[in-house]
Structure 1
């Protein structure tokens, strides 16, 4: 059976690779294609759902590593220097819209799900707060879309995962120990330790890595065809070492990515990031296939009216309202503000956060996971289908 699964996934990649241009024309994104593929695989294997919970435990490290690679590369290509002259929109999205989105999500969770505590609603909300610009590649690659919009969305997406990780970890710790009298102080102590270890590992790793890369490049110690492995191996090592030391690997790779952007040669970093992203994209699409597979067993059987309403609100208005408010007094016109507000698709970070919740003993964890995955599923298709028409509308405006 395992070989049939591998063969099916291999065929998915083969079909996708051979028909990617046609898929783009029909407004089918990579995540949409592989989510559907994962669902088809689940329907072909109806008896495998019983072993799903055990399987997730084994797959979680692989998916965590995938997110760590993306956190590093997003931070490394965020170009913080760009924010010196175009900081307004990303800053408003990150420091005004993001907290408002989190608060709205918490309020909606308490309203729709009476069994949820405040911490559980907060955990659900933070899972669905990060955005993934990779789901809207068509918009980011369209030169007709104003650069300020593309830059703003891309920068926000690259940085908000890293900002949400520490908040998610705090809510996770609180949810794990809801009855402890000194939960808040314990949580802050544990989080401070994890953060401190993450910063230490990130700084030490970058202080060693950048000189080594520069030394190796000057002496041509590595070949062009091996360069994609450099950043992938580095991100995996930073994440795993930090986790082994009981720090936060996600925070460590994010900080390492920011430091790499700041202190590495722009030409070198651009080449290495572009090379490594192709392999990272492969693992990302594998994750989307797994997500589609899990949805058949976890989402579809448990879906209810309140879950559908919350998911639709989370994918749309809970993001749109805070962004529109935060950009209200900027020079952007209504269409540009709506574009910023609309493109907040939920992606890889939300999937990993959800699976991390499933891997704990938190009360109502499967309810939280079902709601989160329903939202992600809606987002994949809502934002995927709307990307090309909105990008094309800017082409028409330019005529």
Structure 2
């Protein structure tokens, strides 16, 4: 634990020092933490001797995913969805299920897994992450509808994929009938906590008796999130659905609390996400990668370059997006950070095929992080020039001569 903290602190400082460079080049903070974890893991240097069953792995994954879903939910209140739902709605209601099904089909036909495990992989790899498209989302030259699409989709699809992950994970266990009943109870309790706690807290602050000072205002949403986490742990409610529901409730009922917490909350979530990436990288070793068969590598490539592009191409038929916008949207996914933690949950679940599923998930996520987080700047620069017909001097053709103005002194002058 001490060594893990030391390595994390050193890598975090390095990432901060090169963050300005990373914003302008293909260098990526996510890649730095992933590679650092790989080099410090037990399979290489042994500085971070973590094993999949270590409690720190499950605890860190749990906290990281809770914070990500909480901030994701806060990013998209109901008013945001109502104001511009058409394109994100296509990506979420059509693109997400199609991506899940196509990924599952590749896992079944190429990697040779059973359908339940294949559908589980599809659900784990379906979410996207705005961090891996940060340069695109933050570039004002990128069309606003594309930036809004990527931001809303990545903020919502983590929560939408979660029930599918839990259901398929339950079906892959030994006694699904018994577990499905317990899962339904967990989801219901989590949803209730996630809606009730922030709603009551925001209503209390609106009374004359309670009022948060300007200094403590950013801690308001943090306190709500911690209370939701504690109640979910005590009651057995689903932590992740509670976090997502709480974020949406705050964004819907407390825009002031949302605004005060936004920057602070993003930093907290980022710290936990980077820590989980470091741990994830430490679990991957040369021996781990050598255990993945050729079919697994082919599956990972198909999941990256075929599943989501085909799913979004079908989803955006007749949407009005031009080809450049569709290509950019299709490229940034999979895989979101939630997929990293969902993969760790599968590994910790001890289902019979946990090892095989995690190997496929891990190699896909590694390739995705290397590819997507290193190309966001390049794709963003693609939008620096307007999408228009090339000028004559850019094509090398000879420009046509301008028409002659009529000369009133010459009767044969063109008119």
TM-score scaled to structure 1, two decimals?
A: 0.90
- Structure 2 partner of 1:269: 258
Shift of 1:94: 0.5
Superposed CA offset, 1:274-294 (max 9, x none): 222112211111111112211
Between structure 1 and structure 2, the one with the greater Rg is 2
Partners in 2 of 1:219 and 1:213 — Cα distance? 5
Report the secondary structure of 1:316's partner residue: helix
- Structure 1 partner of 2:224: 234
Distance change (3 Å), C-alpha of 1:227 and 1:305: farther
**Residue from 262, 267, 271 that aligns with 1:278:** 267
**Residue from 364, 369, 380 that aligns with 2:353:** 364
Partners in 2 of 1:268 and 1:62 — Cα distance? 26
Distance change (3 Å), C-alpha of 1:196 and 1:3: closer
- Structure 2 partner of 1:343: 332
Partners in 2 of 1:112 and 1:194 — Cα distance? 34
Report the secondary structure of 1:394's partner residue: coil
**Structure 1 contact 72–253 (Cα < 8 Å) conserved:** yes
**Residue from 227, 233, 244 that aligns with 1:254:** 244
Partners in 2 of 1:176 and 1:253 — Cα distance? 25
Distance change (3 Å), C-alpha of 1:292 and 1:12: same
Tell me if 1:302 matches 2:291. Answer: yes
- Gaps of at least 5 residues in structure 2 are 389-415
**Residue from 69, 86, 89 that aligns with 1:71:** 69
- Structure 2 partner of 1:86: 84
Shift of 1:228: 4.4
Distance change (3 Å), C-alpha of 1:237 and 1:46: same
Shift of 1:297: 6.1
Shift of 1:272: 1.3
Superposed CA offset, 1:375-394 (max 9, x none): 11011011112211111111
Partners in 1 of 2:287 and 2:266 — Cα distance? 30
Partners in 1 of 2:346 and 2:278 — Cα distance? 20
Greater mean alpha carbon deviation, residues 297-306 or residues 86-95: 297-306
Shift of 1:212: 4.0
Tell me if 1:378 matches 2:367. Answer: yes
Runs of 4+ more than 6 Å apart: none
**Structure 1 contact 34–285 (Cα < 8 Å) conserved:** yes
Superposed CA offset, 1:142-178 (max 9, x none): 111111001111101111111111111111111112x
Shift of 1:211: 2.8
Tell me if 1:20 matches 2:19. Answer: yes
TM-score scaled to structure 2, two decimals?
A: 0.87
Partners in 2 of 1:173 and 1:30 — Cα distance? 34
Shift of 1:299: 3.9
Shift of 1:73: 1.1
Give the root-mean-square deviation of aligned CA atoms: 2.4
**Structure 2 contact 42–50 (Cα < 8 Å) conserved:** no
The structure whose residues are more often helix, as a share, is 1
- Structure 1 partner of 2:391: none
Distance change (3 Å), C-alpha of 1:5 and 1:187: closer
Partners in 1 of 2:15 and 2:381 — Cα distance? 23
Report the secondary structure of 1:27's partner residue: coil
Report the secondary structure of 1:53's partner residue: coil
Partners in 2 of 1:239 and 1:301 — Cα distance? 38
Partners in 2 of 1:271 and 1:217 — Cα distance? 21
- Gaps of at least 5 residues in structure 1 are none
Tell me if 1:396 matches 2:385. Answer: yes
Partners in 2 of 1:44 and 1:215 — Cα distance? 57
- Structure 2 partner of 1:147: 144
Partners in 2 of 1:88 and 1:302 — Cα distance? 43
- Structure 1 partner of 2:157: 160
Report the secondary structure of 1:76's partner residue: helix
**Residue from 155, 171, 175 that aligns with 1:174:** 171
**Structure 1 contact 240–249 (Cα < 8 Å) conserved:** no
Number of paired residues? 388
Report the secondary structure of 2:41's partner residue: helix
**Structure 1 contact 144–398 (Cα < 8 Å) conserved:** no
Partners in 2 of 1:68 and 1:5 — Cα distance? 21
Superposed CA offset, 1:31-90 (max 9, x none): 1111112122227864578751332x3331222111111111111111431332321110
Shift of 1:345: 3.5
**Structure 1 contact 38–293 (Cα < 8 Å) conserved:** yes
- Structure 2 partner of 1:29: 28
**Residue from 108, 111, 134 that aligns with 2:109:** 111
Partners in 1 of 2:18 and 2:118 — Cα distance? 41
